[in-house]
């Protein structure tokens, strides 16, 4: 039988497939489509210290290839997460990664401190793509020093693995990857959504109430793949690829460029059973290609000698 397990630092995943934050419920709402023990791991929607109402509607806009969202990290806050979601996860045979966000570094730290005693939470993913810090306009997601600082401060208060989730909206994502590695991250998730917008030219109405929002889905795959590759070749910690994955071939491409695991987001909206279908189809796909262990594939990209900083003309 093909060995599908992968390592993410100290964690062993039964297979490389995880759900992407914000696209697969908070706890196990999707278990009717994908049973908990099927996946390598379940990633929660972003949990913040205080409840957040999110942004005004419309906050989802479908495009030709994927969609734009400006949900605005709507959630009930960490106390409600501990009270209502965590008990549901008790005894479930699944690796749970809780995604944490915040408006200031202390928010990340306090939220993780609150979650630390919950045995149901196996690891954290830090959403470093939040737009504001302390009400200002200083994005963690684009400033290596701030990303390193937040990662380090969280690492100081937890014994659990920490994965820093990076934004693709930077010119040198490799520098961001190195920064969070220096901050002690156990791994990197690459990437969150790309900034985008839509407009109806007849009415002048923007597609989203916030005008700009996060673009995700099949259209972003080449950008996400490049970002994941850039991260993987910049650091020694594992990288989880994310962005535009909707088929098994997509997922395996992310492994070849150096990712140890992948997350599927937008594609689950069209087919909520997709993640289970991908896991089921994986052994036959690998056997067909003569691959005995998934490890063989990870980082097997060829002829990267010519890979410079910027390859496009
Ligand atoms: C509706 C929606 C909500 C999202 N919410 C979150 C979130 O709460 N936290 C987060 O880190 N990423 C969030 N994301 C980003 C996804 O986790 C993922 O990084 C991104 O969509 C790219 O992957 P995809 O193309 O497979 O969707 C959200 C994406 C979508 C489409």
Query: In this predicted model, what pLDDT tens digit does every residue of 262-301 receive, in sequence order?
Result: 999 999 999 999 999 999 999 999 999 999 999 999 999 9
Pocket test for ligand 1, best of 123, 214, 222, 228 (most atoms within 8 A of CB): 214
CA of 43 from ligand 1 middle (Å) equals 10
- Residue 259 binned pLDDT confidence (cut-offs 50, 70, 90): very high
Q: How far, in Å, CA of 258 to CA of 230, rounded?
A: 9
Higher pLDDT, 72 or 121: 121
CA-CA-CA-CA dihedral for 123, 129, 133, 137, to nearest 10 = 170
Question: What residues contact residue 15 under an 8 Å CB cut-off, 6+ apart?
Answer: 4, 5, 6, 39, 40, 279, 282, 294
At residue 305 the predicted structure's pLDDT band, cuts being 50, 70 and 90, is low
Q: Which residues contact 306 (CB under 8 A, 6 or more apart)?
A: none
Decide if pLDDT at 133 tops 50: no
- Residue 8's closest CA among 158, 152, 122, 159? 122
130 is catalytic: yes
Pocket of ligand 1 (CB under 6 A): 20-23, 45-46, 69, 71, 73, 99, 127, 165, 192-193, 216-217, 220, 242-245, 264-267
By most ligand atoms within 8 Å of CB, the mutation choice from 19, 21, 231 for ligand 1 is: 21
**Residue 278 to residues 5, 136, 225, 227: CA-CA distances in angstroms?**
14, 41, 18, 23
User: Parallel, antiparallel, or unpaired: how do β-strands 212-216 and 66-69 relate?
Assistant: antiparallel
The sign of the CA dihedral 281, 283, 284, 285 is positive
- By the 8 A CB rule, do 120 and 90 touch? yes
* 212 pLDDT more than 90: yes
pLDDT (0 to 100) of residue 309: 58
Q: What is the pLDDT of residue 130?
A: 64
pLDDT at residue 136 greater than cutoff 50: no
Region 216-222: what's the mean pLDDT? 98
User: Does the bond joining 191 to the residue before it have cis omega, within 30 degrees of 0?
Assistant: yes
Rounded to the nearest whole angstrom, what is the distance from the C-alpha of residue 20 to the centroid of ligand 1? 6
Q: What is the residue-averaged pLDDT of the chain? A: 93
Alpha carbon of 309 to ligand 1 centroid (Å): 27
Q: What is the mean pLDDT of residues 97-109?
A: 95
What pLDDT does residue 258 have?
A: 98
Element (H, E) at 149: helix 144-155
What tokens appear for 96 in the block? 């749970």
**Dihedral sign, CA of 174, 180, 185, 190?**
negative
Sign of CA dihedral 219, 189, 312, 131: positive
């Amino acid at each position: 039988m093909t060995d599908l397990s992968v390592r993410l630092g100290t964690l062993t995943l039964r297979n490389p497939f995880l759900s992407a934050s914000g696209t697969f419920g908070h706890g196990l709402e999707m278990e009717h489509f994908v049973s908990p023990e099927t996946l390598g791991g379940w990633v929660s929607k972003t949990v913040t210290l205080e409840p957040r109402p999110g942004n005004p509607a419309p906050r989802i806009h479908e495009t030709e290839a994927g969609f734009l969202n400006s949900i605005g990290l709507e959630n009930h806050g960490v106390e409600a997460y501990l009270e209502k979601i965590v008990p549901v996860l008790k005894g479930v045979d699944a690796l749970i990664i809780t995604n944490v966000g915040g408006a200031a570094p202390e928010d990340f730290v306090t939220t993780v401190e609150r979650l630390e005693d919950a045995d149901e939470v196996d690891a954290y993913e830090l959403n470093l793509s939040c737009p504001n810090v302390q009400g200002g306009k200083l994005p963690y997601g684009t400033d290596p020093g701030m990303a390193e600082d937040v990662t380090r401060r969280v690492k100081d208060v937890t014994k659990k693995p920490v994965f820093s989730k990076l934004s693709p909206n930077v010119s040198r994502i490799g520098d961001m990857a190195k920064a969070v590695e220096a901050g002690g991250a156990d791994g990197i998730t690459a990437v969150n959504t790309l900034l985008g917008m839509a407009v109806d030219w007849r009415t002048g109405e923007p597609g989203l109430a916030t005008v700009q929002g996060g673009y995700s889905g099949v259209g972003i795959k080449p950008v996400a793949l490049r970002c994941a590759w850039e991260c993987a070749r910049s650091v020694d910690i594992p990288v989880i690829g994310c962005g535009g994955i909707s088929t098994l071939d997509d997922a395996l491409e992310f492994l070849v460029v150096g990712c140890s695991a992948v997350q599927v987001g937008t594609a689950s909206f069209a087919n909520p059973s997709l993640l289970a279908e991908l896991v089921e189809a994986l052994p036959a796909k690998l056997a067909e290609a003569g691959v005995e262990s998934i490890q063989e594939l990870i980082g097997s990209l060829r002829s990267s000698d010519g890979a410079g900083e910027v390859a496009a003309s």
